[in-house]
């Protein structure tokens, strides 16, 4: 039985690439191609596709707005396709089958399509989207309650659980996110990232933020500075401008 797929992207070249990749699959039927959100909404209602490849930033309605306007029973599994990584967390709030970050290669596309097939088979996306419609109104301002941080790497989005992050170091327009066994590089300033972190993360200098759950020891240093020692043995300097706030957070 053919998998009925709808392609939605405002860029003709992007739609053409998705079409060519889908045509390489023997069991795919492309039921519609759309260039704006209003057309997507109409095409979903008319064709009832099994799976949607859905761009986020489109004229008329965004991909997210399209989903919100559908009644829960009409929402098929969705693979969001975007050139922007800043929508990743919100996409997974909509229980996306996958988030395909442009540019992507054939192998990455096939992995996304496999996840889409699994979502069609199990209909997990439908169930989760039902809960989403029941718990929020389209006009609500959404509070970010996620426990994850989205970190972009070539061809994919890493979703890191905050509790896994030990410390973060800023370097100009980049930050290094240090986990227990690896370090990831994120193109973002430390100041911008700090605003997205939960209260357990505290700035200890102009260049460093630490997760208080990983703090092992605090040692005084000269001129009002201190050393902080983390559970993995990392030793960082707490400058005096940040020392009082850190001590308050630690209950000292």
Q: What number does CATH give the domain 151-250? A: 2.40.50.1020
- What pLDDT score does 92 carry? 67
Q: What are phi and psi of 184, to 5 degrees?
A: -115, 145
- What pLDDT score does 205 carry? 92
- 124-135 vs 106-122: helix crossing angle, rounded to 10: 80
The answer to whether 37 and 62 are in contact (CB under 8 A) is yes
Q: Which two tokens stand for residue 213?
A: 């759950």
- 106-122 vs 12-23: helix crossing angle, rounded to 10: 70
- What pLDDT score does 73 carry? 67
H helices of the chain, where?
A: 12-23, 37-47, 63-69, 88-93, 106-122, 124-135, 190-196, 240-250
pLDDT tens series, the chain, 252 aa? 789 999 999 999 999 999 999 999 989 999 999 999 999 999 998 998 999 999 999 998 998 898 888 876 678 889 999 888 777 767 766 767 888 888 889 999 999 898 888 888 765 434 454 445 544 444 444 444 456 777 665 556 667 888 889 999 998 888 889 998 888 888 788 888 888 888 899 999 999 999 999 998 888 776 667 888 999 999 999 988 888 888 888 776
Record: fold of 3-135: Rossmann fold (3.40.50)
Domain extents for the chain?
3-135, 151-250
CA distance linking residue 78 with residue 199, whole number of Å: 33
């Amino acid at each position: 039985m053919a998998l009925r797929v709808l392609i939605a992207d405002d860029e003709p070249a992007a739609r053409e690439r998705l079409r060519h990749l889908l045509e390489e699959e023997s069991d795919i039927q492309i039921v519609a191609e759309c260039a704006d959100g209003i057309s997507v909404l109409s095409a979903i209602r008319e064709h009832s596709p099994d799976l949607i490849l859905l761009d986020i930033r489109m004229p008329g309605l965004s991909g997210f707005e399209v989903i919100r306007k559908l009644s829960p029973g009409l929402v098929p599994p969705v693979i969001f396709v975007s050139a922007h990584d800043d929508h990743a967390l919100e996409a997974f709030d909509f229980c996306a089958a996958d988030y395909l970050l442009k540019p992507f290669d054939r192998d990455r596309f096939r992995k996304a399509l496999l996840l889409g097939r699994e979502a069609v088979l199990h209909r997990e996306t439908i169930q989760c989207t039902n809960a989403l419609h029941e718990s929020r109104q389209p006009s609500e301002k959404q509070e970010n309650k996620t426990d994850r941080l989205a970190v972009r790497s070539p061809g994919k989005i890493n979703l890191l659980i905050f509790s896994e992050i030990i410390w973060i170091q800023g370097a100009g327009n980049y930050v290094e996110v240090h986990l227990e066994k690896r370090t990831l590089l994120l193109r973002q300033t430390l100041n911008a990232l700090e605003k997205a972190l939960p209260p357990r993360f505290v700035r200890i200098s102009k260049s460093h933020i630490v997760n208080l759950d990983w703090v092992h020891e605090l040692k005084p240093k000269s001129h009002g500075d201190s050393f902080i020692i983390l559970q993995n043995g990392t030793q960082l300097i707490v400058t005096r401008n940040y020392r009082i706030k850190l001590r308050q957070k630690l209950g000292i």
